[in-house]
A and B are shown apart, each in its own frame.
Chain A
Amino acid sequence: MIELRHVSKSYNKGKVKAVDDLDLVIQPGEIFGFLGPNGAGKTTTIKLIVGLLKPDSGAVTINGLDNQKEALRCKAMTTYVPDYPAVYERLTGLEYLNFIGDVYGVAKKDRIERIEKWLEIFDLSQAVSSPIQSYSHGMRQKIVLMAALLPAPRVMVWDEPMVGLDPRASFHLKEIMREHCDQGKTLFFSTHIMEVAEKLCDRIGIINKGKLIACGSMDELKKLNHEQQESLENIFLELTEK
């Protein structure tokens, strides 16, 4: 479970409010899609959840633990995928996964089993022994996703995980996301692909100028909309145009 209580974060000594008094709870087993225009505060919110940024006020808790006070315990149950797959280019894919396995304390048997499975799913078997430097953008994204899945985390916080993936990999990823959340895990992810959010998410949040302007299931969002728009794209456009 992820809980944000009155979380605010600003830049430039308070001049730019990136996240403004955000209140949000994501339940276990839930896939939560986070939408918003560029610069709305999506990445800042995600970074606040995983502890890359410290909130100016408010608190973020992961399964009941404050992510600032109990940072290590929170990190041990959370994995993060950044908006750009900046990983150690000089390591091979396998060395990188092994590093993640070591720092998250994944047992060797589980490591082998999971890595083998995802190498096949993401079609990375041929590249995994090569330096990440030689990977395309999509391949890097796949290795970052594999690293995020390897510890079998209870909470996953992903920033635009589909970017750069080919259609097959996207399809498999969506299945994996659903599968994980059906096991009671929590997934919070941002996306610009409305179709993915509409079909995959249990609930959707829309952020604009640092404020959460809408939150709920697809049906709830439709009810919020005065013009009774059918598609998420239209709802999004209407809510964020002001």
Chain B
Amino acid sequence: MIPDEIASTIISPWAYSDGKKVDDAFTWLRREMPLEQAQPEGFDPFWVVTRHADILEVERQNDLFHNGDRSAVLTTIEADKQVRAMMGGSPHLVRSLVQMDNPDHFNYRKLTQGAFLPQNLKALEARIREIARAAVNRMAEMGGRCDFARDVAFLYPLHVVMEVIGVPESDEPRMLKLTQELFGSQDPDLNRSGAEVTDAKAGVDTVQSVVLDFMTYFNAMTDDRRANPRSDLASIIANGKINGEPLGYLEAMSYYIIAATAGHDTTSSTTAGAFWALAENPEQFRKVKENPALIAGLIEESIRWVTPVKHFMRTATADAELAGKKIAKGDWLMLSYPSGNRDEAVFKDPFKFDVTRSPNKHVAFGYGAHICLGQHLARMEMRVLWEELFARLESFELDGEPKSMVANFVCGPKAVPVRYKMN
């Protein structure tokens, strides 16, 4: 069993905000207990999968390790009870691709998969470039100082993804606020109560109220797109059929919610984290500035560096062996992506930010059937932004202490103050 101190660190929202604490804990685990069970107070026991190779092994076998049988996100015993009481026994408040297994996962993913293939995203590049250029222009007009997270990184991917979904620009602030309340539900700076969450019931109630606000919004959008279909993602979801039938209500709402939250928040975190890392490693910025061909390397390294999704849970559907350990049917496993992406067996100098890192086979998008649907869009958004920004950015440095969100599921920087010179 993993020692209590380590177990409580790797689930602590504050440790992820600190960064180093969680890195140190995972470094210890990879060396001493790369696959072992943890049982922090208030939680059911779960296996902590820390090594890159073992994460791939679990993700590859999506019939043996299910997403939906228990909560797909780490949750306390009390919170799990609350959710099941609300949801008729289901451990999920929403039912998106993340909570599904086959055959539903395959059928629901197929509905939108084509829209996110690289060859089909090409049609969006010109419009994404316009949005990026506007973001860079706004940054230039700020007089050489801004919070890059708040003023650029949060807004640019939001605008792109909301256009893809079909959400009007006037509703973007609302979508951003709801997203931050959802993923930042443990962060007093971002959550709905403005206070530290100490009570499981209050925590679940808060998240559920955010989910209900999303559902109210997207329910109206479904009605609209059924009456007036357009060429947007909302129309695909609203008019989609699974085995000849319209999507279930919960599944349709969950599809919108995942697109409207994870669809931009993860890219925002990575973009903000990249800028933070470049500010701390100016020689890396110089390399990319002088050789824009390195932008592709910067993107992959930023995704590895930030790893905005900190974990997903899986449940064993049968007795299994993994890395020499006996996993029993029904066991819960935590896939620790930040740990996999710092695995010394795969990455040389894993704590060094290196835009020339090659190969860079990070697991930040996951692996196997559940690999991130929007990964090609995320890469394109970042490439276009960096192309536009670096053409005008001459120099920059930190202008205060950056801060990261207090969260243990999906998170990244929440403030990256910078001073800069642009042409």
The answer to whether A and B belong to the same complex is no
Which A positions have Cβ atoms within 8 angstroms of B? Answer: none
